[in-house]
Chains A and B, each alone.
Chain A
Amino acid sequence: MYRYDEIDATLVAERVAQFRDQTRRFLDGKLPEDEFRPLRLRNGLYIQKHAPMLRVAIPYGLLSTRQLRMLGHLARKYDRDYAHFTTRQNIQYNWPKLEDVPDMLADLASVEMHAIQTSGNCIRNTTADHFAGIAPDEIDDPRPYCEIIRQWSTLHPEFTYLPRKFKIAVTGSPADRAASEVHDIGLHMRRDANGQVGFEVLVGGGLGRTPILGKVICDFLPREHLLSYLEAILRVYNQEGRRDNIYKARIKILVKAKGIDAFRTAVEAEWALIRDSALRLDVAEIDRVRAFFRPLPYEKLADINVTQGQSADFQAWYRYNTRPHKVPGYRAVIVSLKAHGEAPGDITADQMDRVADLADRVSSGELRATHDQNLVLGEVRQIDLLETWQTLKALNLATPNIGTLTDMICCPGLDFCSLANAGSIGIAKQIHERFNDFDYLYDLGHVEIKMSGCMNACGHHHVGHIGILGVDKRGEEWYQITLGGSASGKSSLGEVIGPSVAKDAVAETIARILDVYVARREDGEEFLETVRRIGVDPFSERVYAAAH
């Protein structure tokens, strides 16, 4: 993975010193709260319901075991022994003290981490496919380009006060595992006819109040122009994006208002003037960064049948929680942070330490955080899978539910978030309790539930096969259900099935929806395909039939 050089280390250290100074001025009463707010947000610090919340960046989800141990250390020293992985491959602490945050940032800097631009109206952490570099279907490894984007976007002087937040996702495979179509910019790696690497560029995707899928602004952008093209998009957005209404300030609204063609014309006009500036990436710089992501010295192994003669539990885990690796004899393991009864995405300090130990032992000493709030051990030899499973199982991190109904995406909701209308963690637990029969879950196959506690859609509910949105009805928590959303290639936004349902009726509503699927599915048809084929009406009829 990327290692800091002197520039990176100095910059992060100076950033910590800057924030320490800002915090001191705030605590001394020299910096008013409303002026401190945007500064602390740019260092990932929110003031939430109970306490400040600190969001730490995990650039494109890649994490060393040393870093994971530090994250565990922070949870122990400054928080309540746990932390929460988010849908943007970051990690959040829910209970730090404001005056401790500069020390937390200094601890992070010691392992080449930071919280820079994890919030605020600026360019956020760039996310990527969590199987980057190991996926068999990959065109090229997106991570070197993510790192280049990370550096370019960090403390970019021109784009520090954008109209609104700005998120970029990069994928290197045809399969989209980074929800790139619902990002402000989605980059899809491509090769042209000569084998040259470049990007298909999407712009103007996003969720929130106005969910929109990104539109193609450029079919093929040669890689050397990556930064100049991004800069041109950001510059047009910075100048023309709306600043009068927070709900209309995202780039998706600008792209929609101008139309993608006029927006493209504006970007290309700007780009023409900067494409051959010093922003042009030369091969040497690309290669310098690529060298950090060189494939491991893999052993020459053959694929083996590891499940033969093993327990049904192990077989289920192998089937649901491991994925193919591009190198024979290896496999990627998904560490499930979706144990039934636990808040999705949460992990304790002890689990962090033990997973780090495991990764050092059986994988590469690196882990990946996924946007669906799990972890991945990317480089496990197949002969080590049994031991890996046993270790994870003892840690309650081997629930064999990846890709099933209970592998839910879930935002912190009312329990922690001051913007929430309704709880989401409690609903996750309700669903866990109701759907605890793994044979039934396996029979249902691939179903994605995504849940947000309010319209901000941090839980990506619009693109859940089943989306759950918390709404406030006269002070009570109610839930609006959508069906048919997806963010993994051929993306679509879910359709509302009808009036929102009461808090205690959510699991029952989902049960009815699943009944319709089981009754109506055709041979081998996945849930999403059935919804797309028959539409939401049959589901609505069943859900609301006896509800009066």
Chain B
Amino acid sequence: MPQLIKNRALCNNEWVVAGSEAAGSATRLLLPLADYIAAIAAGEPADSRAVLLKPEVHDLTPLLPHLQHLPLIAVQFGTTGEGRGYTQARLLRERHGYKGELRAIGAVRTDQVYFLARCGFDAFDLVDGDDAAVAISQLDRFSVAYQTSAGNLTHTRMRYGHQG
């Protein structure tokens, strides 16, 4: 079982990917973007449906009308080398003002956590086998950065920023 890290602590995960083995009778479901839009249109409860964002989605327009009420967006990482989710996260946070939970799921390991956090992720579904305490400690790995970040990691000074 992956270990969910939020606010620098392990916590219970209530969300499961729809159709997955773990889904069972769970009520809080993660759905691929198109399915999510269809589900909401069909009147399924907005507080227990959330988006599973696949790496290949780079046009976020269909998602935008839902950002206000989405409780969670889970960005999927197929491998640790997958880099598209970092851009998706920054765009959601910085360009589209998404304020809800942004969770990295899939191949999420200790040494990605710092970079993920800087792009705006605030929840990490750490793979089974990695030590959650070590992963959490990575959030304090750097006290300075050259770029400002979308996340809430604070650095003493940043050289080349984005928007404030």
Contact = CB atoms under 8 A, between A and B. Distances in A.
B86 A240 contact: no
A278 B164 contact: yes
A155 B142 contact: yes
Contacts of B114: 157
Interface in A252-303: 273-274, 277-279
Interface stretch (A10-18, A184-192, A508-516, A531-539): A10-18
B80 A151 contact: no
Interface string B134-149: 1000000111111111
Contacts of B116: 157
Given A38-B80, A152-B160, A278-B161, A158 B119 contact: yes
Contact residues on B (Cβ < 8 Å of other chain), bracket: 35 or more
Contacts of A240: 58
A238 B83 contact: yes
B118 A157 contact: yes
Contact of B162 (A25, A159, A160, A279): A279
Contacts of B159: 7, 151-152
B86 A160 contact: yes
Given A11-B145, A278-B161, A157 B111 contact: no
Nearest to A153: B146
A154 B145 CA distance: 9
A161 interface: yes
Contacts of B156: 7, 10
Given A38-B81, A160-B83, A163-B83, A22 B144 contact: no
A222 to B, nearest CB: 17
A311 interface: no
A240 B84 CA distance: 9
A228 to B, nearest CB: 9
A18 B141 CA distance: 7
A33 to B, nearest CB: 13
Contacts of A6: 144
B146 A239 contact: no
Contacts of A11: 142, 144-146
Contacts of B90: 158
B163 interface: yes
B130 to A, nearest CB: 8
B13 interface: no
B81 A121 contact: yes
Given A240-B58, A277-B162, A278-B161, A157 B149 contact: yes
B118 to A, nearest CB: 4
Interface in A1-51: 6-7, 10-11, 14-15, 17-18, 22, 25, 30-31, 35, 38-39
Contact residues on A (Cβ < 8 Å of other chain), bracket: 35 or more
A235 B83 contact: no
Contacts, number: 102
Given A7-B144, A155-B142, A227-B160, A239 B58 contact: yes
A510 B17 CA distance: 63
Interface in A155-178: 155-163
Contacts of A163: 83
Contacts of A156: 146-147
A279 B84 CA distance: 21
A231 B55 CA distance: 19
Contacts of A239: 58, 84, 87
Given A151-B160, A157-B118, A277-B162, A238 B144 contact: no
A7 B161 contact: no
Contacts of A160: 83, 86, 115
A520 interface: no
Contacts of B161: 277-279
A22 B111 contact: yes
B61 to A, nearest CB: 13
Given A157-B119, A160-B86, A161-B83, A278 B146 contact: no
A163 B84 CA distance: 9
Contacts of A273: 95
Contacts of B49: none
Nearest to B118: A157
Contacts of B109: 35
Contacts of B69: none
A35 B116 CA distance: 16
A479 to B, nearest CB: 34
Interface string B74-114: 00000011111011001000010000000000000111001
A535 to B, nearest CB: 44
A119 to B, nearest CB: 14
- For the complex of A and B, the 6 pairs showing the least CB-CB separation, nearest first, are A161-B83, A278-B161, A157-B118, A239-B58, A157-B115, A151-B146
Interface of B: 58, 80-84, 86-87, 90, 95, 109-111, 114-116, 118-119, 131, 134, 141-149, 156-157, 159-164
Interface of A: 6-7, 10-11, 14-15, 17-18, 22, 25, 30-31, 35, 38-39, 121, 148, 151-152, 154-163, 227, 235, 238-240, 243, 273-274, 277-279
21 contacts: A7-B146, A18-B142, A31-B110, A35-B111, A38-B80, A121-B81, A152-B147, A152-B159, A155-B142, A156-B146, A157-B115, A157-B116, A157-B147, A157-B149, A158-B86, A161-B81, A163-B83, A239-B58, A239-B87, A277-B161, A279-B160
Given A7-B146, A148-B160, A152-B146, 4 more contacts: A10-B144, A152-B160, A154-B146, A238-B87
